[in-house]
Amino acid sequence: MAGYPPGSGSGYGYGAPPPSAYPAPPAYGSPFAALVPSAFPPGTDPSLVSCFQLADQDGSGFIDDMELQRSLSSYNQTFSLRTIHLLMYLFTNTNTRKIGPKEFTSVFYSLQNWRGIFEKYDSDRSGKIDASELREALLSLGFSVSPVVLELLVSKYDKSSGMNKAIEYDNFIECCLTVKGLTEKFKEKDIAYSGSATFTYEAFMLIVLPFLVA
């Protein structure tokens, strides 16, 4: 099996992530840990605050999966509940399916960023990007994947049955979330940044299962 340690001449392996506004993940523990209530970061666009407050009908400080789905669709970002669950998992690091102001803001600005990247690489405005454009898009997000991983991603996230493999916006987001999430989980275990990581069976199952069908 070929290994591609970061910084090796092969050019594969994961790259350094771009500077990020995401909070550091909480210490590893039960995936059902409670969410800490949060506030909007200073300077958040007031319309985003209103949007969250409109969705948070009971004023609990949290919105659920259906509420997040509706909120994002009002910004023309339409996703399946599966993608919404993956977003909630990765931005809260829990399986509680509730999201507060701080995480909502991170989700919103990340999606804006990813939409910009998608549109940059979808130069013919077809609403789809192909394998080599996906590779470039992931690179610009700081993730460098090998040709075999790229082929697997395209075969997973191309939901059309056309001859020319291509990925639509919502599947692109799910693909980005998956690559980002799995890479971050791997790097948490690769403390020496060696390109290899050791997992107990328990940790392996707890890391992988949340990415499966939600």
Closest to 29 in 3D by CA, of 95, 79, 88, 91 = 95
Token digits of residue 15: 């790259």
**Which range, of 5-13, 52-60, 131-139, 161-169, touches its own copies by CB under 8 A?**
5-13
Q: Are strands 98-99 and 128-129 parallel, antiparallel or unpaired?
A: unpaired
With tokens 């509730």, the residue in question is: 98
Member of 39, 54, 74, 204 binding its own copies (CB under 8 A): 204
**Residue window 37-76: x/- pattern of binding to its own copies, with contact defined by CB under 8 A:** ----------------------------------------
Residues 210 and 23 sit within 8 Å (Cβ to Cβ): no
Q: Any contact of residue 161 with its own copies (CB under 8 A)?
A: no
State CA 101 to chain mean position distance. Answer: 18
Q: What are phi and psi for residue 157, nearest 5 degrees?
A: -100, 0
Member of 8, 132, 148, 160 binding its own copies (CB under 8 A): 148
- In Å, what is the CA distance from 112 to each residue of 40, 54, 67, 118, 194? 17, 20, 19, 10, 32
Q: 43 or 201: whose CB is closer to its own copies?
A: 201
Rounded to whole angstroms, the Cα distance separating 69 from 158 reads 22
Least CB distance from residue 212 to its own copies, whole Å? 6
Question: Three-state SS for 119?
Answer: helix
Q: Any contact of residue 214 with its own copies (CB under 8 A)?
A: yes
Window 77 to 96, contacts with its own copies (CB under 8 A):
82, 95
Q: Any contact of residue 178 with its own copies (CB under 8 A)?
A: yes
Token digits of residue 57: 């009908």
Q: 21 or 208: whose CB is closer to its own copies?
A: 208
Which regions of 68-158 does DSSP assign to beta strands (E)? Answer: 98-99, 128-129
**Residue window 94-133: x/- pattern of binding to its own copies, with contact defined by CB under 8 A:** -x--------------------------------------
The contact set with its own copies (CB under 8 A) reads 1-6, 12-14, 28-32, 82, 95, 145-146, 148-149, 151-153, 155-156, 174, 178, 182-183, 186, 190, 195-206, 208-214
